[in-house]
Amino acid sequence: MNKLRIAGPAKEPARKRRPRTPKGPTPPAPRAAPIQDATDLYLRGLEASQPLTREAEAELGRRITFAERDALSALVRSPASIHALAAIAEEIRSGQTNPRDLLLNGEAPDAADTTRRLVDALERAHVLASESGNDAALPADLADAFDTLRVDPTLVERLDQALAARAKATSADEQACIEEARDRSAKARARAAHEKGELVRANLRLVVATARHYGNRGVPLLDLVQEGNLGLIRAADKFDYARGYRFGTYAAWWIRQSIERALLYQGKDVRMPVHLTASRRRVLGAERALSQKNARLPSQEEIAESSGVPLDKVQAVRALSLTPVSLDAPMGDEGDFRFGDTLASETDAPDEALVRSRMREAASAMLETLTPREREVLKLRYGLTGEDDHTLEQIGRSFSLSRERIRQIESKALQKLRTWSEERGLGSYLEGLR
């Protein structure tokens, strides 16, 4: 018979163990690193800013230029502006005002033609003002001539102030006309300021990147960024999109100039004069090159020869480059005394002062035993009157005597002093003269 196999109960498949949930509150999700200081807060605020494309920069530049032209055009087309323009022409004639200062980029090498056109337009306004007894409006071609100029904001402000003063002393109809022109100009200036703000905000990260290159020079990073921002704003004021270059390329120069000027004035407790700044760069460059070449610190004479800077300027630059140390700086492991306590006093101790006084009296008494010529020779030879020591040749020229004769007078005078001092126990005083 076949044996029957009785199967046992089927085994359940093994269940996967679920990970135990730890008791207690659920840990919070990771957060961003906490803000440490104002610098960290400022830098985080710039993370979302994106640089502008070349086309976007050109478009902003175009809007700024046209807004500034509208601000000037609204004022010069007002009848009351002719006498304000004539007054500016008078200032240029008298030399009180430089016409280049009235242009936004008047310092540029190629600004001569623009300056000439500005002066011509002002002169025409001056002629019209002298010929007309009332506030005549500018001819259309003259008003259009001002539209082609990009003037400094100070000129627009002067015109606006002149029109405001004129409005107070004129009829109601003319006052309304002037106020309308001023309002159009103010709105145009507001548009220009808004577009410049967009240009500045898009390039704030450039300022931070530039400021980082000037770290560890005595000025905090945030202060350098603030100074660089001022240069960025100045660059936005003077940017000319029609030249075709990128705004960042132009602004980098203004940012560096502002930061370097801040380092010059704020980087050290003792400010270095402006005329020594270029010399300092040359001196430091020559010092680094010579140190690497010779594997030692160069002398001041070697630095002067290598850099082409006079020796006295090298000495002045190196002295100003030293880091000042406060006399109240704590010293020692526990800071229990000040740095000033370690410096030797230049004032004589009471006993030393008394000895010096006695020696001066003894020296005066000894010199009185000599003839006037011998006394004068010794004073010049050893600088007894506080002057530098003279050579025998120098003393000989003063007395019209030979060098040998002066030496004989000196030897005879010293012998007299030795005899006199030994008799009175003062022989040690003349040991330095042997």
Name which of 153-157, 182-186, 273-277, 329-333 the model is least confident about. Answer: 273-277
Greatest mean pLDDT among 184-193, 262-271, 345-354 = 184-193
Name which of 127-136, 164-173, 252-261, 279-288 the model is least confident about. Answer: 127-136
Summarize the confidence of residues 229-257 as an average pLDDT. Answer: 91
pLDDT, mean over the chain = 80
**What pLDDT digit, counting tens, does each position of 314-324 carry?**
888 887 766 67
Predicted TM-score of the model (pTM): 0.59
| Closest to 262 measured CA to CA, from 299, 304, 214 | 214
Residue 133: per-residue pLDDT: 58
pLDDT band at 428 (very low <50, low <70, confident <90, very high): low
The CB-side HSE value for 134 (13 A sphere, CA atoms) comes to 6
The CB-side HSE value for 219 (13 A sphere, CA atoms) comes to 21
pLDDT band at 4 (very low <50, low <70, confident <90, very high): very low
| Closest to 202 measured CA to CA, from 40, 43, 57 | 57
pLDDT band at 417 (very low <50, low <70, confident <90, very high): confident
pLDDT band at 3 (very low <50, low <70, confident <90, very high): very low
Summarize the confidence of residues 427-433 as an average pLDDT. Answer: 52
**What pLDDT digit, counting tens, does each position of 273-286 carry?**
666 777 888 888 88
pLDDT band at 186 (very low <50, low <70, confident <90, very high): very high
Which H/E stretch holds residue 196? helix 172-201
**Please, are residues 90 and 197 in contact by the beta-carbon 8 Å criterion?**
no
Using the predicted structure, report yes or no on whether residue 234 has a pLDDT greater than 80. yes
Distance CA 251, CA 257 (A): 10
Residue 433: per-residue pLDDT: 47
Distance CA 139, CA 142 (A): 5
Using the predicted structure, report yes or no on whether residue 59 has a pLDDT greater than 50. yes
Q: Hey, CA dihedral for 66, 200, 259, 209, is it positive or negative?
A: negative
Summarize the confidence of residues 24-35 as an average pLDDT. Answer: 53
